[in-house]
Amino acid sequence: MTSSQMPGTALDPTILSLPRVGRLHLGRWVSATLVLLALAFVVKAFAEGDIAWKVVGQFFTAPAILGGLANTVIMTVCAMALGIALGVIFAIMAMSPNAVMRGSAAFYIWFFRGTPLILQLLIWFNLALVFPTIGIPGLFSARTIDLIGPFMATLLGLGINQGAYTAEVVRSGILSVDHGQVEAAKAIGMTRLTTLRRIVLPQSMRVIIPPVGNEVVSMVKLTSIASVIQFSEILRNAQTIYYANARVIELLIVAAGWYLIVVSILSLGQVVLERHFAKGRAGAGARNG
């Protein structure tokens, strides 16, 4: 049999040698052109606008800006750590067989999700008005005003508020783990808490990390509202500088640049974490999230 002929058909074999030409995709060309035009317009506007780019470059690494940046990053890490710790604790409480535990967790989530964050920050900052001293009777006592300064008030406000949101994320993560895993852990003699720590929480990470990563990104930017209680994060320091030199937009661009850099680095970290916790799942990996 010759290879160029198909037996028993009248098909034209020359079709196999014809060149193939792709579709035109006119819509894609038009939309791309429109977007590029718009982009060029924005770039041109900023380039011709009254922005002293030299000032931007000059203040980008100014000590006050870098100090504020450090405070922003430190606050993000501390508040998020507090938020995650509280979130895990309250998620476990919310799923406890003990009704008092469940009730307390529900109240915590209800209260801190139900009031504005800026209001909570103001309450923490002004706590000294209500409780001039705080402490454990007989053990120690301190003046509230010494204990809760701008840093502590911001940490408590952001961390405790974050915990209420993270609790719900952790709870849904725990619910995503098959109950058979819990039974298998019990069957090899694990207690409830060991089961959570060794079996359930590691497997719930896959579900928990994408939304928590999202919340870390929010947290970086939320720290800026602590400027209202005089916490010297990057935005507040930028404001302090432009009150003096009147370079408002330049300093805001500096702050925006730093926020974008920090958030970009964190997003890369999230990808790495998601890959790590996807282990053991066939075909999982970067696809998740």
Partner 1 sequence: MVEASANRPMVQALSLTKRFGNLAALDSVSLDVAPGEVVCIIGPSGSGKSTLLRCINQLERIDGGAIWVDGELAGFRRTSDRLIELTDKEIARQRLASGMVFQRFNLFGHMTALQNVIEGPVTVLKQPRATATAEAERLLARVGLAEKRGAYPSELSGGQQQRVAIARALAMKPRLMLFDEPTSALDPELVGEVLAVMRDLAKSGMTMIVVTHELGFAREVADRVVFMDQGRLIEQGPPAQVLSAPEHPRTRDFIAAVLP
Positions touching partner 1 (CB under 8 A) are 178, 180-181, 183-192, 194, 198-199, 202-203, 277, 279-282
Angle at 113 between CA 109 and CA 119, to 5 degrees: 125
Nearer to partner 1, 176 or 267 (CB): 176
Nearer to partner 1, 172 or 240 (CB): 172
Task: Using alpha carbons, select from 77, 43, 70, 55 the residue that is nearest to residue 219.
Answer: 77
Shortest reach from residue 278's CB to partner 1, in Å: 9
Shortest reach from residue 197's CB to partner 1, in Å: 9
Nearer to partner 1, 67 or 202 (CB): 202
Task: Using alpha carbons, select from 210, 192, 182 the residue that is nearest to residue 271.
Answer: 210
Cα 23 to the center of its chain, rounded Å: 41
Q: How far apart are the first and last CA of the chain?
A: 54
CA distance 59 to 54: 9
Nearer to partner 1, 73 or 88 (CB): 88
Shortest reach from residue 104's CB to partner 1, in Å: 20
Specify whether the CB–CB gap between 156 and 226 falls below 8 A: no
Nearer to partner 1, 137 or 180 (CB): 180
CA distance 238 to 256: 10
Number of Cβ within 10 Å of residue 241's Cβ equals 21
Shortest reach from residue 170's CB to partner 1, in Å: 16
Shortest reach from residue 196's CB to partner 1, in Å: 12
